[in-house]
Structure 1
């Protein structure tokens, strides 16, 4: 019960923040899973370009999205699907647009200027993770809503962005990646099969179930009720983090490996 109280108490923190996919813990875990699955050539090339591990830039796009000159990237963290769960592009761009553009630029990265290569890498490192965050799939028939934790109103978006991961285990990203990254080569091959848009469709189909777990204005009045939600929610979040890590590695290996 003491653990339950800590979980519920922690879940009440930071809900006034803007929505950012996965939070630092989740994005770092995704990047580290990817790093552990890079080819030696890809890892060496990328670190030479960035001057750091890819984990270092896992949340860069969130940290800079409001800075002058980067405001236009705020629209790039999510993407929409139509009623048939098919990707529906937006006029101002979205996460799929940002990823496809960055990947296209890096197809011939040796011909690009350094700033273009670095920025494109930062986009890919972050946005593959955002694409897999359940609430970053925008459904045509699903509006955002709030829930109540111990009487305090909070966005259901923020519950999925950060709290499910950061309040479930007291691990750092290294431990999280170690616990999740256990798939066989054949399993990874299956997870990474298809195109970027195939992956997004997979996310749209799989992540729709989160809207059954909590209804608009639902009250989580006790730690036990919160855990009743958390127990089925956590495997969904962890599956998406793991898949994002493998798919990020696949993209980077295709480009640099």
Structure 2
């Protein structure tokens, strides 16, 4: 990358799924060194305690709620780097997965600002660990798709269902029921095992085990972020838990 015109550097840091001790060592160290931290809505107070010395700016996005526009976040990132040496853009999960990182990187590059990306544990892997549920299984599931129903402003609002052995839907709270209906209409088995994980890795984590048919018939009631895992790889452990 070319040398930046600004004295500041921006770090896109993955906060992980929620629990403060699931951030990487590098990510935690950067938070402790940061002058300014721009953080997502799902970042916990425990995580922000790691950067008590920094100016903290909330730029969170929550479905159905008033939130910061992406263009505004891009502007804040550039302005922050022009007045501080170390700026952390703290994103839930991993910055490069469903985090709109591309738009922020484009803005930083256009302004000639140096940056670095620090990966984080994405929620799908944290949920698999928390539920003790492998996403792959020899002889049954050898492919995994991570998807979301979130769309761009000019994009059709129809969730594209991946053709994969195990499906993991991010931000699946309100959209999970509609996804299940579409899957059933396309020939997926009504008794396909489904696991719903709310507030993954946090003290208030909730795990629900249902079938695809049940998911299609009853809206997901949740107050926190929900991850939906679907596939035959989960059948044995789901049955054992019942």
Which structure is higher in RCO with an 8 Å CA cutoff and minimum separation 6? 1
Q: Does the alignment reach a TM-score above 0.5?
A: no
TM-score normalised to the size of structure 2?
0.28
Structure holding more helix per residue: 1
Q: Which has the larger radius of gyration?
A: 2
Structure holding more strand per residue: 2
